[in-house]
Structure 1
Amino acid sequence: MKKYDEIHIENLQVFANHGVFPEENKLGQKFLVSAVLYVDTRAAGLQDDLTLSTHYGEVSQFMTSFLQEHTYQLIEAAAEHLTEELLLTFPLLQGISVELKKPWAPVGLPLDTVSVKIERFWHRAYIALGSNLGDKKAYLDMAVESLGEFRGCRVEQVSDYLITAPYGGVEQDDFLNGCLCLRTLLTPEELLSVLHEIEEKAHRKREVRWGPRTLDLDILLYDDLVYDSENLTIPHIEMHLRDFVLEPLSQIAPWVRHPGLGKTVRELAEDLKQKQKK
């Protein structure tokens, strides 16, 4: 994870209506909010220009208004939704840590405060797009548009669409392939679920491995994460073997380094070309 500068807000007092018990929602109580804003302050510091920074006064006002205008039973939910709204509202924020404290929480025991502290960041993911059934371009365009409209996702770049031969030995029509760069607040598993939803909108059927499909969406890279689960492997396990992935990815991210192989996308593409010549 990249190292960012920090702006700290400590123990902002907010009177709000959050809690499991009805009287907490009706009568309200005092909460304390602390936040660490992860930003790049260098330009603002060198030029002494507030417009180049994230205004901690505006952030404090936003947190106060948000917590007073919404009601949650759990402080976990209040912290989660507040953090998301802050990241979506303040464009220079790269990440944020929020601690929401609840003094004198009604647990029937003497204590000063109960708190929840969470940390969330924007992430950068690279997604492979493919289609070889129906209106291929329309399916890819739909995927790009759907991802851009999904809450917590921003499409930053899209490669050209390339016509490529089918992969895997199944006889079928040529593919239209591309890649996009996505800025997202979603976890890898959440992002995978969204991709599957978009594939379902295109009536994707998973009947034959490497077979024809209206829409195929794969997570290639997610920050510099190396991740394995039952449903997902990052980096994509075969991306370095697929020219229909590396060629469009080289258009938008030639310098990005594969966290497992240690080579840039451009280097992986050149390596694959050399292997194919032999």
Structure 2
Amino acid sequence: MSRAFIAFGGNLGDVKNAFISARNQIDALPQTHVVASSLLYRTPPVGPAGQPDYLNAVVSLETELAPLPLLEAMQAIETGHGRVRSEQWGARTLDLDIIAINGEIIDSEQLAVPHPLMFDRQFVLRPLCDLAPEWQHPELKQTAAERLQEIMAAGEPPLPGGEAW
């Protein structure tokens, strides 16, 4: 069984309820169980100007699904929540990114794991640290907590406190 981390993001519609629904759908996938959820964080948008703030979170799950079927399931859940891919980093109802699967490295046309930008984004690292601060990037050999500490030391302001969902 693999341990995977899925980053949740969204800034259109009732995002919190979309997150709850998506988490339940992930938990209902075959041979998959959501183990834990981070707090929910409000973050400024990255990308085109004029977007509303995002909500971000991470869930930890155990699954026997292979990476590509897991990706397909995440994309189907996004689509079911009205996700439209019209512009890079544009506003969205729901974004589900596989950020890590165990210590695997996957670099294919469809999927890159660990997520290539996860160690540069506090909105991914902060909720990941709620669940697994000891998770170590398999190439960088740095834990999530160490990298988050570096980002904060470089002067990026901390995210406001999170809330349960």
TM-score, shorter chain, exceeding 0.5: yes
Aligned position for 1:163: 42
**Structure 2, gaps ≥5 residues long:** 157-165
Aligned position for 2:78: 199
Q: Name the Cα RMSD after superposition.
A: 1.2
8 A contact 1:148–1:154 mirrored in 2: yes
For residues 198 and 151 of structure 1, the distance between their equivalents in structure 2, rounded to whole angstroms, comes to 14
Return the letter of the residue paired with 1:155. V
For these two proteins, the number of residue pairs brought into alignment is 157
Aligned position for 1:248: 127
- Indicate the SS of the match to 2:99: strand
- List, as ranges, runs of 4+ consecutive aligned residues in structure 1 with deviation greater than 3 Å: none
Deviation (angstroms), 1:235: 0.4
For residues 155 and 110 of structure 2, the distance between their equivalents in structure 1, rounded to whole angstroms, comes to 30
Deviation (angstroms), 1:200: 0.7
Q: Structure 1 length as normaliser, TM-score?
A: 0.55
**Structure 1, gaps ≥5 residues long:** 1-121
- CA deviation profile, 1:19-44 (whole Å, cap 9, x unmatched): xxxxxxxxxxxxxxxxxxxxxxxxxx
Aligned-pair identity (%): 38
Residue 136 (structure 1) aligned with residue 34 (structure 2): no
Structure 1 segment 114-125 matched on structure 2, within 5 A: 122-125=1-4
8 A contact 1:170–1:211 mirrored in 2: no
- Indicate the SS of the match to 1:126: strand
For residues 88 and 139 of structure 2, the distance between their equivalents in structure 1, rounded to whole angstroms, comes to 25
For residues 138 and 260 of structure 1, the distance between their equivalents in structure 2, rounded to whole angstroms, comes to 35
For residues 148 and 48 of structure 2, the distance between their equivalents in structure 1, rounded to whole angstroms, comes to 21
- CA deviation profile, 1:78-129 (whole Å, cap 9, x unmatched): xxxxxxxxxxxxxxxxxxxxxxxxxxxxxxxxxxxxxxxxxxxx00000000
Return the letter of the residue paired with 1:214. T
* Higher-Rg member (1/2): 1
Q: Structure 2 length as normaliser, TM-score?
A: 0.92
